[in-house]
Amino acid sequence: MRTVEPFDAVDLIRAKRDGHELETPEIDWLVDAYTRGYVGDEQMSAMTMAIFLNGMSRREIRDLTMAMIASGERMDFSALGKPTSDKHSTGGVGDKITLPLMPLVATFGVAVPQLSGRGLGHTGGTLDKLESIPGWRADLSNDEMFAQLRDVGGVICAAGARLAPADKKLYALRDITATVEAIPLIASSIMSKKIAEGTDALVLDVKFGSGAFLTDIDRSRELARTMVELGEDAGVATSALITNMNVPLGLTIGNANEVRESVEVLAGGGPSDVRALTVALAREMLALAGQPDAEVEAALDDGRAMDTWRRAIRAQGGDPDAALPVAREQHVVTAERDGVLVAQHALPFGIAAWRLGAGRARKQDPVQHAAGIELHAKPGDAVGKGEPLFTLHADEPARFARALEAVEGAWRIGDAGDPVEDGGPLIADRIGR
């Protein structure tokens, strides 16, 4: 005999469409019924649009997050005998911070269970970057993940299929129904996975600007506050940095290129903005884990973080000394006159890298690990006529034309004294206790 369902999806859709709050049992049932297939995609599509248009209260967002967590397993790292701290970035152009950050924090005896994803569209994926390294593998069992956290102190890997399965279904649906930007849905998606992951502390890198998921800084602050509240409500020490993504981060965009730059940072060098953000996020993660006075920069400069990186890469089958892929073709764009680079907008460069093969249009598409862009100047730098501004890297020269179309008008050379369009400081705000 078929079970009688306690609610009707149409009633709940109508209530949210008309601006009413859904009760906790209604949200619990809706997520469960959608996960097991009783509520169809067309009904959940209508619900996500109603949420997009009318929003949710803090209590509703918390209930939605907890219901998505309850749809799968919850991990527990308490047996490690040391604190755990994690970071999540909302993504951007050239954002490779996870790569140097994980080994840096793990160097101080704080375990870093970094569950990461793949790129889609103009934002790069951490797993795609690391798969540039010969032999490295993203898919680990829970036992393998636990063992690496115990032996190395940190891990970057793919989330298991049993972690918040409701979110996986809902995320795919939002992507095709123009509801991706709904803050209740973004916040519950991110935080359901991070809370289910079982970390003690979580630092959020919430970006704003041209190349960010949310371009407006006030919307980014709202998202950050919502996620910090969700973390605190769930007993996870949580804070957020609001960071600038008007300009690409660092000097490289693309998978193998970004691994090279990350290794430079771990060697005590690298671009100043990548190093600065890595250090700031490491300090946040360590402070939340009870180490507010850790000498973070020293661990980059003296090789300790690099040692942890090499151990972590080997633990996942990779060769930290292997040559990274190099593109077969290059196209150099030079300055048309002397002056100062006053603009370099992140989004067009992200799209260009995607068109070169560094990203994917569909989840099942492969990426070309050597494809991407190398920047030779950043806003505020003086440039001379004929000097290189950036280099496009691709395996197929036919890709250059569309990449150049994407960046047309995305940079501008002015005169000394002209205002620089960089969107302000790298770290604009902090939210949390």
Q: From CA 422, how far away is CA 392, in angstroms rounded?
A: 22
In this structure, what token pair is assigned to residue 37?
């297939």
Contact criterion met (CB below 8 Å) for 5 and 38: yes
Q: From CA 201, how far away is CA 204, in angstroms rounded?
A: 10
- Residue range 47-67, pLDDT digits in tens: 999 999 999 999 999 999 999
Fold topology of 78-160+184-322+428-432? Pyrimidine Nucleoside Phosphorylase; Chain A, domain 2 (3.40.1030)
* Per-residue model confidence (pLDDT) at position 392: 98
Percentage of the chain modeled with pLDDT above 70: 98
58 included as an active-site residue: no
* Per-residue model confidence (pLDDT) at position 213: 85
Residue corresponding to tokens 């008309």 = 18
Of the candidates 150, 157, 230, the one whose C-alpha atom is nearest the C-alpha of residue 187 is: 230
Contact criterion met (CB below 8 Å) for 86 and 112: yes
**Phi, then psi, of 391 in degrees rounded to 5:** -125, 130
Q: From CA 386, how far away is CA 369, in angstroms rounded?
A: 29
To which H or E segment does residue 80 belong? none
Terminal Cα distance for the chain, rounded: 52
In this structure, what token pair is assigned to residue 202?
């979580």
Indicate which residue of 16, 62, 122, 174 is catalytic: 174
Mean pLDDT score, 80-86: 95
- Residue range 345-398, pLDDT digits in tens: 999 999 999 999 998 766 667 889 999 999 999 999 999 999 999 999 999 999
Q: Give the CA distances from residue 162 to residues 133, 327, 363, in Å, rounded to whole numbers and listed in that order.
A: 27, 37, 19
- Residue range 306-343, pLDDT digits in tens: 999 999 999 999 999 999 999 999 999 999 999 999 99
* Per-residue model confidence (pLDDT) at position 17: 97
Task: Answer whether residue 38 shows pLDDT above 90.
Answer: yes
Q: From CA 250, how far away is CA 244, in angstroms rounded?
A: 12
Q: What is the CA radius of gyration of the chain?
A: 22
- Residue range 141-170, pLDDT digits in tens: 999 999 999 999 999 999 887 889 999 899
Task: Answer whether residue 240 shows pLDDT above 90.
Answer: yes
Indicate which residue of 16, 88, 168, 393 is catalytic: 88
Q: From CA 279, how far away is CA 417, in angstroms rounded?
A: 31
Q: What is the dihedral of CA 241, 242, 247, 248, to 10 degrees?
A: 40
Contact criterion met (CB below 8 Å) for 371 and 353: yes
167 included as an active-site residue: yes
193 included as an active-site residue: yes
In this structure, what token pair is assigned to residue 104?
């840096």
Residues of the chain with CATH 3.40.1030.10: 78-160+184-322+428-432
User: Taking the domain 329-414, which CATH number applies?
Assistant: 3.90.1170.30
pLDDT band at 3 (very low <50, low <70, confident <90, very high): confident
88 included as an active-site residue: yes
Measured in whole angstroms, the distance separating CA 286 from the mean position of its chain's CA atoms is 19
- Residue range 89-144, pLDDT digits in tens: 998 999 999 999 999 999 999 999 999 887 766 677 899 999 999 999 999 999 99
- Residue range 206-223, pLDDT digits in tens: 999 999 989 999 999 999
189 included as an active-site residue: yes
Q: From CA 393, how far away is CA 272, in angstroms rounded?
A: 23
Task: Answer whether residue 249 shows pLDDT above 80.
Answer: yes
